[in-house]
Structure 1
Amino acid sequence: MGGVRVVVVGAGVVGFSTAVCIAENLPHVSVTLLGEKFSPETTSDGAAGILFANHNPDVPVEQQRRWFKSSFDHLRLIAQSEDAPEAGVMLSSGWQIFRDVPEDKTPYWSDLVLGFRIMTEREMVRFPEHRFGQAFTTIKCECSRYLPWLEKRFRRAGGQVDQCRVDNLQDLSGSFDVIVNCSGLGSRSLAADVSVQPVRGQVLKMEAPWLQHFIRDGDGLTYIYPGMQGVTVGGTRQGGDWNLRVEDNDTRGILKRCSSLEPSLTRARILSSWVGLRPGRRTPRVEVEREVEVKKGGRSVTVVHNYGHGGVGVTLAWGTAMEALGLVKKSLQGHRAKL
């Protein structure tokens, strides 16, 4: 495939995952990644980074399973390798608890994580305000380490990286044969997709080395995730909010809710506070935009979209990246003359 050029726009976890998948699986294709911001300044860097997946009624369950399984298996291999410390990937065991018994006690991903089981009455005693719980082992991925590690892996596969702002995908059509849009919230303008909305998230990093197990309220708003360097506690999920300031009211609310689940947090020191804007969308968009191919100079350039993951970017990144890879492969069939 010499001479074929692919560009990936976006340097977050979805962008770098997609770039790595393309570069490693299509070694004779030239792959370039463009990003305005790189780690540690991306939204992904502040993500809690633990693999959980909520059921999305608009996406076929088998597709959701495929995305989750691909990501889980990929990260599990890293967690069990010598690269785990550098990549910031680790196994994490703990509990997800619910104030009311959920309709689906065994979610579609229950057989894809490790050791999933329903919590016993004895275990639930420590959470008196909750009636039901699930215990299992999942994966925590700390993107402040994972993104630089992915970038190194991408460069080893022959990928090129350039820091620049992209204001219009058509500006890239003269230099590349396929454009892969992984711009997250930036897709509001780059893909003219106003359905992509900011979902403001605020989290704290705390010093509590005695905590070894995660605790997550089933509503997804309150969570405690021990990691390699500190414990991430949160959070907020404020749709349509562009505010990037750390708000004291949110900090107090997070500490109150998390301390009610883990009282020892009242003795923990706050290491840092962070706010990020998740790229919220009703469903992730992973598709070829065939009907509006970018045209310039008498040639056609296909756009593959992979964005809109909301709060499950780390959870689904590798799975949707592999799907985007398949779409890129299909689009390159039109370049057989170059192969």
Structure 2
Amino acid sequence: MKPVKVAVIGAGVIGLSTAVCLAKTLPYCSVTILAEKFSPNTTSDGAAGILLPKVFPDIPLERQRRWFKETFDHLQALVESHEAPEAGVYLSSGYHIFKEVPADPKPYWSDYVFGFRVMTDKEMKRFPNHKFGQAFTSIKCECPRYLRWLEKKFRGAGGQIKYEKVTSIPQLIQHYDVIVNCSGIGSHHLVGDKGAYPVRGQILKLQASWLKNFIRDGDGNTYIYPGIDCVTVGGTRQEDDWRMEVDRSDSEGIMDRCIKLEPSLHGAKVLEEWVGLRPGRINPRVESEWLQDQNRWVLLVHNYGHGGCGISLSWGSALDAVGLVRKNLHEKPLQSKL
């Protein structure tokens, strides 16, 4: 059987996860990743990397639940393996605190993390400006390590990598049978998706080895995530903001908010300031379509728009995208469309 040539656009956590799943589960596919930037220069490299998703309004909750569960299961198996240090994944415990009781005090993901419970009054006294909190243990990815691990797995499965900036889908149609678009915010221009918008995120990495537990404010803008080599603090969620320069006032605001939650951070050494553009969208786009160029038909599968939930949903949505490839190739074999 002639190999099905597949191009995956993008080398962030969504693109790499999708490429690995394709290469491992569809042996009749020859998979190539096309991207201008690879780790450590992707948006995913700056992600805090803790598994903690939000709820998207127009996607069935069961589908979101499946995405998170499959991602959590995949990473938990990795945590419990000898590859955990190389992949940079481990269990992380901490607090998720709110200034008001949330509408859903027991979100769907609470069924999958470890030890989920409501914080006690004694614990909440530490955060006098907050009224409610959740304590649990989740999984954290040190993203630069995890991305390198994914790339290693992809190459080991026979995948190919090309440093190439894709500026239009039509330029690939004559060379590939299947195109998988994991270009993140690049889809705003690449496929003309005006519903995809940047959500500017700025973080700082601090030297604060004494911190072991994460703290996240329910507003999504203030968080403290201890890691292997440093503590990541943030952040910003500035929609439709394409700036990639570090904003000094944002850094000062981040430190002020985080010190209020964790006073021991006062005076902690700043190791790095980082800015990235999350691929914002009302809902992630994980769907397929057929493209025609003269007498040639090519399958296009989209997998992007996860916003700040890329790590949390990466493996599950990758499996979904692979399922779309398999289903379409099975129901409408390329040979019958040519």
- Residue type matched to 1:183 in 2? S
1:148-201 deviations in Å (ceiling 9; x for gaps):
110110011111111101111111111111110000011012211011101000
- What's the counterpart of residue 138 of structure 2? 138
Task: Say if 2:301 is the partner of 1:304.
Answer: yes
Task: Say if 2:333 is the partner of 1:335.
Answer: yes
- Residue type matched to 2:326 in 1? K
Matched residues in 1 for 2:105 and 2:220: separation? 16
- What's the counterpart of residue 149 of structure 1? 149
Per-residue deviation, 1:126: 0.6
Does structure 2 retain, via aligned residues, the 8 Å contact 1:89–1:140? Answer: yes
Per-residue deviation, 1:247: 0.8
CA change 1:336–1:274 in 2 (3 A) is closer
Does structure 1 retain, via aligned residues, the 8 Å contact 2:57–2:283? Answer: no
- What's the counterpart of residue 245 of structure 1? 245
- Residue type matched to 2:22 in 1? I
Does structure 2 retain, via aligned residues, the 8 Å contact 1:27–1:157? Answer: no
Task: Say if 2:208 is the partner of 1:208.
Answer: yes
- What's the counterpart of residue 60 of structure 1? 60
1:27-64 deviations in Å (ceiling 9; x for gaps):
22111111110001101111111111112221111111
- Residue type matched to 1:155 in 2? R
Matched residues in 1 for 2:335 and 2:247: separation? 56
Per-residue deviation, 1:296: 2.5
**How many percent of aligned residue pairs carry the same amino acid?**
60
1:270-295 deviations in Å (ceiling 9; x for gaps):
11000001110000000012xxx322
CA change 1:306–1:74 in 2 (3 A) is same
Secondary structure of 1:94's aligned partner: strand
- What's the counterpart of residue 112 of structure 1? 112
Does structure 2 retain, via aligned residues, the 8 Å contact 1:170–1:295? Answer: no
Per-residue deviation, 1:143: 1.4
- Alignment TM-score, normalising by the size of structure 1: 0.97
Task: Say if 2:228 is the partner of 1:228.
Answer: yes
Does structure 1 retain, via aligned residues, the 8 Å contact 2:207–2:231? Answer: yes
Matched residues in 2 for 1:266 and 1:127: separation? 17
- Residue type matched to 1:117 in 2? R
Matched residues in 2 for 1:28 and 1:248: separation? 51
- What's the counterpart of residue 175 of structure 1? 175
Structure 2 residue corresponding to 1:324, chosen from 303, 313, 321 = 321
Matched residues in 2 for 1:174 and 1:331: separation? 19
Per-residue deviation, 1:297: 4.4
Matched residues in 2 for 1:2 and 1:115: separation? 49
- What's the counterpart of residue 314 of structure 1? 311
- What's the counterpart of residue 217 of structure 2? 217
Secondary structure of 1:317's aligned partner: helix
Matched residues in 1 for 2:54 and 2:294: separation? 44
- Residue type matched to 1:79 in 2? V
Matched residues in 2 for 1:168 and 1:294: separation? 13
Q: How many residues align?
A: 335
Q: Which blocks of at least 5 consecutive residues in structure 1 are unaligned?
A: none
- What's the counterpart of residue 69 of structure 1? 69
Matched residues in 2 for 1:225 and 1:173: separation? 43
Matching of residues 187-198 of structure 1 within 5 Å? 187-198=187-198
- Measured on the aligned residues, the alpha-carbon RMSD in Å equals 1.2
Secondary structure of 2:171's aligned partner: helix
